[in-house]
Chains A and B, each alone.
Chain A
């Protein structure tokens, strides 16, 4: 069971806006930045959001992140079929002295 809690699934129709939540605690999200990773089927994870709300070069501006207290969210607007993937949140945990991941959310584009 992951230290960070994500919903196992999310879905939306093309053009819609979907959000994925990530819940943690004081020792992780509370005091550390949150990152988000996209994993397309059969491929390695890819960093899409770092430091809570920053996008690496080349990542679509339809993707955004936010953090409040001990929770974080990933939002994808203008949903497209290419967004269908697994999404993982990640951060550092001060109590565990290492990085941690959420359990992942499978996003389906209906």
Chain B
């Protein structure tokens, strides 16, 4: 059974760095063709793709946030980590990780709500 589980802080202060972890189960990021993405959804708004990492360590970022995002993987722990620097209230959202296989997001985590507030 394939599952993804997001974890991280529920509350972050403005200007701080947000670090989120996605723990994978039932599949591996060492498998050819597989990718894991981070996608966020501000309250009441649409989905926004943020970053993507493939099995071969190829990385992609949304252009508007490229300077603030970093995505990495730890295959020994079966985890994908996203960092977002210098957060602001507009970064308040539910953050999802999802498996990309090969061009659709076929499995999603349950999401984690992150609020940016002082």
Contacts and interface: CB of A to CB of B under 8 A. Distances in A.
B110 interface: yes
B106 A50 contact: yes
A88 B46 CA distance: 8
A104 B63 contact: no
Nearest to A102: B46
A98 B47 contact: no
Contact of B46 (A50, A98, A99, A104): A104
Given A2-B46, A35-B105, A44-B109, A97 B96 contact: no
Interface in A69-98: 88, 90-92, 96-98
A47 interface: yes
B52 A99 contact: yes
Interface string A45-82: 11100110000100000000000000000000000000
Interface residues of A, number: 26
Nearest to B105: A47
A92 B35 CA distance: 14
**Per DSSP, are chain B's interface residues mostly helix, strand or loop, or mixed?**
strand
A50 B49 CA distance: 17
B27 to A, nearest CB: 15
A35 B49 contact: no
A47 B106 contact: yes
Contacts of A50: 104, 106
* CB-CB nearest 4 A-B residue pairs: A50-B104, A35-B104, A44-B108, A101-B47
25 contacts: A32-B103, A33-B104, A35-B103, A35-B104, A44-B96, A44-B108, A44-B110, A44-B111, A45-B47, A45-B98, A45-B108, A51-B103, A88-B46, A88-B47, A90-B47, A90-B104, A90-B105, A96-B62, A96-B63, A99-B37, A99-B52, A101-B39, A101-B48, A101-B49, A103-B46
